[in-house]
Amino acid sequence: MSSALPARVRVTRPPLPLAPALRAAAARLCPQAPQGALTAAALAIAGGAVIGAALKWEGGEALGVETGWRGRGIEEALEEVVGRGL
């Protein structure tokens, strides 16, 4: 994983289906994603809050990062993690 991430940010690949709180955060960041049809998900977490999400489903994908966190390597880390094991 990228060492360029801010120290307090971690990127994880949670099991599917997402737990309700994680599902709500992913839907907020990637409203176009069909939450019930996800085939892979990666979430960026800072201070206990979801600040980024990369989601994949049959025929599509979405990436969303909160404005204040963009351009810090989080997008790349999310894409790397969500792509594993597919």
> What confidence score (pLDDT) does residue 84 get?
65
* Whole-structure pTM value: 0.90
- Asked if CATH classification 1.10.3720.10 holds for the domain at 9-83, the reply, yes or no, is no
Using CA of residue 37, residue 2, residue 66, residue 64, what is the dihedral sign? negative
Instruction: Choose among 83, 66, 69: nearest CA to 13.
Output: 83
**pLDDT at res. 3:** 53
For residue 2, the tally of other CB atoms under 10 A from its CB is 14
CA separation (Å) from 32 to 5, 46, 75, 81?
26, 23, 17, 20
- pLDDT 10s per residue in the chain (86 long)? 445 788 899 999 999 999 999 999 999 999 999 999 999 999 999 999 999 999 999 999 999 999 999 999 999 999 999 986 43
